[in-house]
Amino acid sequence: MNSQHHRWQLDRWCSEHTLQRSQSLFDSSERFLRIGPFGSVRVADAVASRIVKEHGLEAKLESIRKEKTIAYHLFIKLEMMTNKEVTRLKRVFQDEHQWKCEILSQEGYPVVEVQPISTVQMYQRYLESSSVVGAVSPQDGAYEVSKFWSTKNETLLFRWREMEVFFEMPLDWSIERTHSDLFQLAHHLMVEPWDKSAMEHWHPTRKAGWRPGLAFSGGVDSAAALCLMPSDTVLLYNERSGLPGQLDHTNALRFFEEFEHRTGRAVHRIKSNHEQIRTVEGKSLGFSTDYACAVQVVLLADYFSLDSVGTGMPLENSYLFHGHQYRDFAESWFWKHYSPMFESVGLPLYQPVAGCSEIINMKIVKQCGWEGWAQSCLRSTHGGEVCGQCWKCFRKNSMLGLPFTLSNEITTFLNKVPIKQAASTLYSIQKSGISRKGEDIRKKFPSILPLLETDFSFLESFHPGATDIIPEKYRTYTKTRLNLFCSRMSRSELEAIRNINLYSEK
């Protein structure tokens, strides 16, 4: 049997009753989609809200008693839609969102109840069976999702050693409808520095979805990435919850609210405490690996049908190793380690600002109208304001030529060797190194004077090599957007950045 079939061949595989029923549906002047059943009003309302936001369709909620339970359904009246459009919408709801969905010729409950299911996976399994392409034997020792992951109500739990952490998932998310590869990758990203056993049996099979996902923090670099990605990008915020510390979500939530108001796009907040996993190894709270910041994107990749994972990694973390030494990022151990890992599960890494310095990112955010909304400061408890005393505030304010407070934290960072994010930090001091109290950074920290003689003007242009590692599907779009805000580095600028090694031994 061929693996490809023509539409007209399908009629021979259906009974006469099925053909008549299908024809009556599509000949009708009115059509409805019935979605459900759902087990509670809350879940049904959540689905209805999502349909309004993502598809602009109003859904009517109805219920029906079944034995000792009540089933809730949503009915959507479809007007001015072609047969193809109706069918496509049904497939989106049923195959991508995993909601049971049926096309009806009239609103209400039909006399004969059916159980609508998607046959896509059944058909795929048939094509992959021994009669079609040869049997695929399961791998011995495959990753056991249930050994590390479980759910309690809408909360996903991950257990490693003596630590259990949580993720508050969307109401209609399902562990059963999430590919095991995603759990395996998320597991690895959270514990890789101390335990690599999750990848001992790595045989990924997940296929890509259709849109990107961005690990969105609400900071400047993250917002710049957002401005360079398509409008159907799903934004997912890791909302640290249940953990001690000074981190505050006020500015981020303020930005999200304004962003949704202006664009109609939602920022999905996933509460989690997975940053405490590091404490098992005596570390402070934080992300275990560079891509642990995107664990929520990985876990929801099937739910949102994602085909790539983006972050706001700037040039100071990509082409400038630790911000002070040049490396060819595409040839680095980092990229060669993580890029194939993500690509193998249909989630190639999408780093739109990898070639952009923090200086460029601030420019992008300003020109896109998000200045004052995107804030990298995580300490302020007052919306629209920054604490003015943390390391991030010092660097961002000085880049803008604004006065800053020389706090103990800033003094500690400036005394360190190497200075964190050295290139852009030194660039900002060159622009403005005077505190609110008139303290001159150059005089107070004379050890940095030789470094301040370096020309960092290359930070005002983007590294062209960074666009080559963007997924091909989105490369042209992001390059076109990027060219609206800044120019690519010239030959002399590329030579200058390649020579950066600020703390080499003399």
Task: Please indicate, yes or no, whether residues 202 and 248 belong to a single structural domain of this protein.
Answer: yes
pTM: 0.71
- CATH number of the domain within which 70 lies: 3.30.70.1070
* pLDDT single digits (tens) 143-171: 999 999 999 988 999 999 989 999 999 99
Task: Please indicate, yes or no, whether residues 358 and 412 belong to a single structural domain of this protein.
Answer: no
Question: What integer pLDDT is reported at residue 3 of this predicted model?
Answer: 43
In a domain, 255, yes or no: yes
- 59/48 Cα distance (integer angstroms): 6
Least confident of 67-81, 116-130, 420-434: 116-130
* pLDDT single digits (tens) 354-401: 999 999 999 999 999 998 888 876 766 777 677 767 777 777 767 766
Task: Please indicate, yes or no, whether residues 420 and 314 belong to a single structural domain of this protein.
Answer: no
Question: What integer pLDDT is reported at residue 140 of this predicted model?
Answer: 54
Question: What integer pLDDT is reported at residue 488 of this predicted model?
Answer: 95
Per the CB < 8 A criterion, the answer to whether 129 and 135 are in contact is: yes
Residue type, 58: E
Rg (CA), the chain: 26
**Residue 67 exposed, middle or buried by CB count within 10 Å (0-12, 13-18, 19+):** exposed
> What tokens appear for 233 in the block?
């990008």
Residue 455 has pLDDT above 80, yes or no: yes
Of 222, 471, 473, residue with least CA distance to 356: 222
How large is the average pLDDT for residues 243-261?
Answer: 85
- 76/93 Cα distance (integer angstroms): 12
Residue 288 has pLDDT above 50, yes or no: yes
Q: At which of 109, 137, 163 does a domain end?
A: 109
Residue type, 91: R
Task: Please indicate, yes or no, whether residues 200 and 291 belong to a single structural domain of this protein.
Answer: yes
| Mean pLDDT over the full length of the chain | 84
- 334/150 Cα distance (integer angstroms): 31
Per the CB < 8 A criterion, the answer to whether 168 and 155 are in contact is: yes
- 287/187 Cα distance (integer angstroms): 13
Pairing of strands 267-272, 234-240: parallel
> What tokens appear for 210 in the block?
């259709």
Per the CB < 8 A criterion, the answer to whether 207 and 239 are in contact is: no
> What tokens appear for 153 in the block?
């109500």
pLDDT band at 81 (very low <50, low <70, confident <90, very high): confident
Q: Name residues whose C-beta falls within 8 Å of residue 163's C-beta, 6 or more positions apart in sequence.
A: 276, 277, 279, 280
Q: At which of 109, 127, 158 does a domain end?
A: 109
Question: What integer pLDDT is reported at residue 153 of this predicted model?
Answer: 85
Task: Please indicate, yes or no, whether residues 356 and 412 belong to a single structural domain of this protein.
Answer: no
How large is the average pLDDT for residues 121-134?
Answer: 43
* Better pLDDT: 233 or 419: 233
Question: What integer pLDDT is reported at residue 435 of this predicted model?
Answer: 75
* Better pLDDT: 38 or 138: 38
* Better pLDDT: 228 or 323: 228
* pLDDT single digits (tens) 398-440: 776 666 778 888 888 888 888 888 899 899 888 877 777 888 8
Task: Please indicate, yes or no, whether residues 251 and 357 belong to a single structural domain of this protein.
Answer: yes
Task: Please indicate, yes or no, whether residues 66 and 161 belong to a single structural domain of this protein.
Answer: no
- 266/232 Cα distance (integer angstroms): 11
- Residue identified by tokens 């859904």 is 59
pLDDT band at 460 (very low <50, low <70, confident <90, very high): very high
Chain center to CA of 174? 18
Per the CB < 8 A criterion, the answer to whether 209 and 304 are in contact is: yes
Least confident of 65-79, 183-197, 199-213: 65-79
> What tokens appear for 241 in the block?
């919850």
- CATH number of the domain within which 185 lies: 3.40.50
Residue 113 has pLDDT above 50, yes or no: no
Question: What integer pLDDT is reported at residue 248 of this predicted model?
Answer: 73
Alpha helices, H only, 326-471: 333-343, 358-367, 391-399, 408-415, 422-431, 441-444
* pLDDT single digits (tens) 482-504: 999 999 999 999 999 999 999 87
Q: Is the dihedral of CA 46, 50, 52, 53 positive or negative?
A: positive
Task: Please indicate, yes or no, whether residues 359 and 288 belong to a single structural domain of this protein.
Answer: yes
- 309/331 Cα distance (integer angstroms): 20
Percentage of the chain with pLDDT > 90?
50
Per the CB < 8 A criterion, the answer to whether 162 and 151 are in contact is: no
- 105/111 Cα distance (integer angstroms): 13
In a domain, 221, yes or no: yes
> What tokens appear for 483 in the block?
């060219």
In a domain, 292, yes or no: yes
How large is the average pLDDT for residues 97-110?
Answer: 75
- 301/282 Cα distance (integer angstroms): 31
Report the domain count for the chain. Answer: 3
In a domain, 128, yes or no: no
Residue 506 has pLDDT above 80, yes or no: no
**Residue 288 exposed, middle or buried by CB count within 10 Å (0-12, 13-18, 19+):** buried
Cα dihedral 263/220/472/303 (nearest 10):
-60
In a domain, 199, yes or no: yes
Cα distance between the two ends of the chain = 71
Residue 122 has pLDDT above 60, yes or no: no
- 448/417 Cα distance (integer angstroms): 10
Task: Please indicate, yes or no, whether residues 28 and 166 belong to a single structural domain of this protein.
Answer: no
pLDDT band at 110 (very low <50, low <70, confident <90, very high): low
In a domain, 504, yes or no: no
User: H-helix or E-strand containing 95?
Assistant: none
Range of the domain at 207: 145-367
Of 156, 449, 436, residue with least CA distance to 302: 156
* CB atoms inside a 10 Å sphere around CB 129: 12
Q: At which of 459, 483, 501 does a domain end?
A: 459
Question: What integer pLDDT is reported at residue 129 of this predicted model?
Answer: 42
* Better pLDDT: 125 or 244: 244
Task: Please indicate, yes or no, whether residues 363 and 399 belong to a single structural domain of this protein.
Answer: no
Percentage of the chain with pLDDT > 70?
83
Residue type, 152: K
Task: Please indicate, yes or no, whether residues 334 and 197 belong to a single structural domain of this protein.
Answer: yes
Least confident of 27-31, 111-115, 260-264, 323-327: 111-115
Pairing of strands 211-215, 306-310: parallel
In a domain, 206, yes or no: yes
In a domain, 16, yes or no: no
Task: Please indicate, yes or no, whether residues 205 and 307 belong to a single structural domain of this protein.
Answer: yes
